[in-house]
Amino acid sequence: MSFLGEDSASTFTLTIDGEGSRSYSCNICHKVYKKRNFIAQHYNHVHLKLRPKLRSCHLCNVKVPGYMRAFHMEEHGLPAPSCGACGKKFAYPFQVLQHQKFYHMGETEHRCEPCNLKFKHKHQLNAHMAKHLTEKRFKCELCDKTFKWRSGLKTHLLIHNNVRRHVCHVCQDSFVQKSSEDSASTFTLTIDGEGSRSYSCNICLKVYKKRNFITQHYNHVHLKLRPKLRSCHLCNVKVPGYMRAFHMEEHGLPAPSCGACGKKFAYPFQVLQHQKFYHMGESNYRCEECNLKFKRRSELAKHQFKHSSEKRFKCELCDKTFKWKSGEDSFTLTVGGDGTKTYTCNLCESSYKKRSCFTQHYKHVHLKLRPKLRGCHLCDVKVPGYMRAFHMEEHGLPAPSCGACGKKFAYPWQVLQHQKFHHMGEAKYRCEPCNLTFMRGGDYNRHQNKHMDVKMFKCELCGKAFKWGKGLKTHMMIHNNIRRHVCIVCRESFVQSSSLKYHMVKRHPETI
C-alpha cells in the first residue's frame, strides 16, 4: 500500500524555517504535521480513504485491525502471544521471539563498542553513538556558536529571535527555555556551607532536598498535573498506571512477582530487572576497587567516595575538614582508657555506645525524620514499613518466612538473604586461615582479630596489654576494685563472673 498515492508535489508542501525544523502542510485541507509519516497517514486515511484492513472475528461480528486481533480474541478466552519469562503480551508471535532474544537472552546485532551497551534497533545505536563524538556539527550562522545536537541549535536560535514560549502562570513573565521558567518562578535553590542543597517552593514555601521532589510537588499541587488515570475494565475505579497491577489483584489477577522471593512489581520488566541483579548477580555498575556491584549508577558514584581521600566538608570555626557531612557537628566521640567508645549528642548531651544508636536518635529527635507510617488498608492502624508484615498477620496474611526453619522476616528479600547464608552456605566474606564464612563485613573484621598477635589495648596503670577492648575493660575493674558479681550464700563479691563460679565450686558445692 502506497503511503502517498500521488507524487509529493501535489500531496504536501514542505517548509523549513530558520531553526531547521520541518513542517508538512497538506495541499488539500491545509493541515500541518511535523513528520513525513504523519502527513502520509493523514493523506491515505482521510483523502484516499485507505483505512487499515479490518478482518471480521470468526466468533462474533466485530471487525478489528490486524494488530488488535490477538487482544480481541482474549475476550473469547484465547490468550494473546506472551513472553513466558516476564508475561508481556504481543500482537504477533514473531514479536515474542524478538523480545526474548533481546531482553532475556541478550542477543542483539547492535552494540556500542566504546561502552558495550546493547540496542534493539539500529537507529537507537546511531543516536547513542553521537554521545561519543566530540565534533559539534551544528553551527549558529549569527554568532558561530556550535552545538553537538540539533535541538541545542534550535533552542539557541530562539534566543536570537527572542521567542519566549514559556510563560509563568503566576507573574506572566516569559522565558525562552522551560528550565529558565522552572528555576525562576518555581523554586529557590539554597546551598549552605556544607554543600547540601535545598529547593524551596516560591508559592507555598515548602522545602525539598532533591530537584525531582520539588518538580513533582509543583506539577501535582500547583499545576494540577496529576498522573493519568485509566479506568479499570472490570469496575469503574480509575487508577494510575503504576497502581493498575495491584488494583487488578482485587479482581483475582495476580500482579507480576518474582518466583524466587515473591516480591511484587507494577510492571513485568521490573521483575526481570530485579531477578537479573538480586538473583543472577548481573550488574552494569561494579566498583573496581572492592568489586561490589550496584543496581544504579548513582549508588556506585556514592560508594566510590569511600575510596577517595577527599574531605569536602569544612568547619567554619576551626577549619577542620571532614569526609562526611554527619561527622562535623552532630556528636562528640570519646574513647575511654579501656577502649570503649561513647557518642555524645552535641544538642542534648545524650550518650550512646554505638554509632547507629546515635544516628537513629539524631534523626528521630532533632531532625524529626520519623519512620514513615502507612495506613493499613484493612483497618485504621498506621505502622512503619518494617512492622507492616507482622501487623498483617492479625488479618490472616502470613509474614515472609523461611520454608526450611520457619523464621519470620519483615521483607521477602531478607528471606532470600537468610536462606543463602544459613541454608545454602553462600557468603560474601570468608576467612582464609580458618575457612569460616560471614554474612556481614563487620562480623568478618571482628573475627580477623583472633588471628592477629597484636594487643592494641594497653592498661595505663600497669602496662598489661590485651587483644580485646572487653579484656581491658574487665582488667580496669580490678584496679578500681569494682566487684559486681556477688555470692548468694556468703555475700562475698568478685570482679569477674569466672571467679564467682570458681568460688561456688570450692566453697558452696551443695548449691550447684
CB atoms within 10 A of CB 196: 11
Who wins on pLDDT, 147 or 331?
147
What would the 3-class secondary structure string for 159-221 be?
HHCCCCCEECCCCCCEECCHHHHHHHHHEEEEECCCCCEEEEECCCCCEECCHHHHHHHHHHH
Residue 464 clears pLDDT 70, i.e. is over it: yes
User: Which residue reads 502470613 in cell numbers?
Assistant: 398
- The angle formed by the CA atoms of residues 293, 294 and 297, to the nearest 5 degrees, is 130
* For the ranges 217-226, 337-346, 385-394, the one whose mean pLDDT is highest: 385-394
The mean pLDDT value for 353-381 works out to: 81
* pLDDT tens digit sequence for 3-43: 343 444 578 888 877 666 788 899 899 899 988 888 988 88
Q: Cell for 21?
A: 525544523
The mean pLDDT value for 388-403 works out to: 87
* Cα-only R_g, the chain: 34
Residue 3: per-residue pLDDT? 37
Backbone angles phi, psi at 77, to 5 degrees: 90, 5
Q: Determine the residue type at 495.
A: V
Q: Which long-range contacts (CB under 8 A, 24 or more apart) does 193-197 make?
A: 193/314, 193/316, 194/313, 194/325, 194/328, 195/312, 195/313, 195/325, 196/325
The mean pLDDT value for 325-347 works out to: 71
Residue 105 CA to chain centroid, in angstroms? 25
Instruction: Look at 54-63, 77-86, 180-189, 411-420 and tell me which has the smallest mean pLDDT.
Output: 180-189
Q: Cell for 120?
A: 534493539
* DSSP at 398: P
β 382-384/429-430 pair status: unpaired
The mean pLDDT value for 413-421 works out to: 84
State the pLDDT confidence band at 408, using cuts at 50, 70 and 90: very high
Residue 326 clears pLDDT 70, i.e. is over it: no
The mean pLDDT value for 371-392 works out to: 83
* pLDDT tens digit sequence for 466-491: 888 888 888 888 888 888 889 988 98
- DSSP alpha helix (H) spans, 24-88: 36-42, 66-73
Go through the chain and tell me how many residues it has.
512
Beta strands, E only, 399-476: 429-430, 437-438, 457-458, 465-466
The mean pLDDT value for 80-96 works out to: 86
Measuring CA to CA, which residue among 409, 415, 370 is closest to residue 388? 409
**Distance from C-alpha of 324 to C-alpha of 77, rounded to nearest angstrom:** 59
Whether 40 and 48 have beta carbons less than 8 Å apart is answered as no
- The angle formed by the CA atoms of residues 13, 14 and 17, to the nearest 5 degrees, is 130
Whether 271 and 258 have beta carbons less than 8 Å apart is answered as yes
* pLDDT tens digit sequence for 276-301: 877 777 777 788 887 787 877 778 87
At 243 the three-state DSSP class reads: helix
- DSSP alpha helix (H) spans, 249-384: 268-274, 297-304, 355-361
Residue 2 clears pLDDT 50, i.e. is over it: no
* pLDDT tens digit sequence for 144-164: 888 888 888 888 888 888 888
Residue 185: per-residue pLDDT? 60
Domains along the sequence of the chain with CATH: 462-511 (3.30.160.60)
CB atoms within 10 A of CB 494: 17
The CA-atom distances, in angstroms, between 98 and each of 86, 118, 381 are 14, 14, 48
